[in-house]
Amino acid sequence: MTQARGQGTEPAGDERDRDQDPGPDRNPDQDRSPERDLSLERDSSPDRDRDRAATVRVFIALAPPDEAKDELETALRPAYDAYPRMRWNRIEDWHITLAFLGELPVGTVPPLRPPLADLAASHGPVELALRGGGHFDERVLWSGIDGDVDGLHRIATDVRRVVKECGIPFEDRPLRPHLTLARARRDDRSSVVDVAAGLAGFTGRPWRTERLHLVASDFGRGPGPIRYRDIEAWTFDGR
């Protein structure tokens, strides 16, 4: 089995842009949504609603199940206590990006739904696991992906083909499967390196991908932490 590991490669668009958002410190004991999925939305002003009506920031992803998140959260709890100034991602937002599409006119999103539904129906689940840790340029902390990484790449390749066939331009960077956990403050890069080293021995339980997620984020739409919501998600039904 192969594993996504390594340091220093610039993250994909959603990871790179999120590093620019100051965001509040994460409280690991904060209330979490019951489903803990990519689904929580924010209130906004009428002006922001008008802005959102024109465009939406979109990516396509997989999400680990709650049991896998719980294991990793437990492993990270000493780091939450030791490094409270790091910008920790909300656990319900943890995801593995397959394709980052960026800011799109809202009218370009509906045509993605039928072919993505067909894609999910034609693919069976793949077995993955969260394992180890690393960082991008001492700024972004991530956990690695183990298991059927070849199967993950096949899904990502088909996802990106669908996006291109829908005529949506996007930055088609090589896939480095990972799950982003936190970002360093600009004046404290060493914390990410230390936490990544502490995760080196982490090995999570295997889990099967359940659904393909078409996700919207509210990056750049007001102060506060970024929130994600599912536009739609489809079960992997293939054999």
Q: What is the DSSP track for the chain?
A: -EE---S-PPPPHHHHHHTT---PPP-TTS---TT-SS-------HHHHHHHHHEEEEEEEE---HHHHHHHHHHHHHHHHH-TTSEEPPGGG--EEEEEEEEEEGGGSGGGHHHHHHHHHHS---EEEEEEEEEETTTEEEEEEEE-HHHHHHHHHHHHHHHHHTT-----PPP--EEEEEE--TT--HHHHHHHHHTTT-BPPPEE--EEEEEEE-TTSSSS---EEEEEEEE----
Burial of 41 (0-12, 13-18, 19+ CB in 10 A): exposed
Residues with catalytic roles: 95, 178
Mutual angle of helices 66-82 and 190-198, in 10-degree steps: 130
